[in-house]
Amino acid sequence: MNILVFGGVGQLGQCIQKIAEQKSIQGFIYLDEKQGNILDTDLLKSLFQEFQPAYVINCAAYTAVDKAEDEVDLARKVNKEGAANLAKFCDEFDATLIHISTDFVFEGNVPQLLTETDEAVPVGIYGLTKLEGEEEIAKLTDKYFTLRTSWLYSEFANNFVKTMIRLGKERTELGVIVDQVGSPTYAVDLASVILHIIETKSTAYGLYHYSNEGVTSWYDFAVAIFELAGLSTHVKPLKTTEYPTKARRPAFSVMDKAKIKADLSITIPHWRESLKQCIKAIELL
């Protein structure tokens, strides 16, 4: 059984590789941006013909939230058209598509748990183009899992946790946003769910929310990172208005995970427990 991983050398791709190796699961082909250009339909067709994949995992995305406000066409090409290309070939070659999306599809202006049936109202180009990609997939193939996730981090690539640890070693004080609330997600946990879908050959296709359990702000997340990493850096709470960015972020994007827990029969770790595991892994690097 062959499994194509697009965006396979990025953060989530490396986490998938870590879990697959731990479980001794064979057949994964990890494709970088050039080897697996999701905008090149001729290349995609040759990959599908060569490998006849049973599963396709799409970790490839345009994720520069602020730059997307200026690079609208590029963000849409990758997040909408690229996703549509994969969906078309998955449908043609009878492969199951596992696609990664985001909490940024929501406006996040109401403090209540967000379900898969809640209306998605993106407030920025990144979220809008990711939502458009979700919609294309749902139109073009029936065998898909779209997993919306949030605040992704790991011991791999660049992310908030690694940035905080680096800055915490360099500075005595940092300012971090206190009025944006969500759920951090350890990418290794998300990778484990993806592997679970494949191992169980689940046919519970559709749209799902997945993040670690629990709720926190970026400020409290940073405080926890420094505490668990043994750093004495003082964290100063900042309001969003004190740290303006080109793209607006959801103020509250905590997702309800009841559907994925029920349909896939999984348990989800609390974010703080997963953060402990990640920091241990970072310290071993």
Active site residues: 126
Neighbour tally for 199: CB within 10 Å: 11
Spatial contact of 86 and 59, defined as CB atoms under 8 Å apart: no
What is the rounded radius of gyration, in angstroms, for the C-alpha atoms of the chain? 18
Tokens of 8: 């396979």
Burial of 241 (0-12, 13-18, 19+ CB in 10 A): exposed
Q: What whole-number distance in Å separates Cα of residue 192 and Cα of residue 201?
A: 14
Closest CA to 194 of 152, 235, 166: 152
CB 30 within 8 A of CB 2: no
Query: Quick check: helix, strand or coil at residue 253?
Result: coil
Which run of H or E residues covers position 84?
helix 83-92
Q: Please report which helix (H) or strand (E) contains residue 97, including its range.
A: strand 96-102
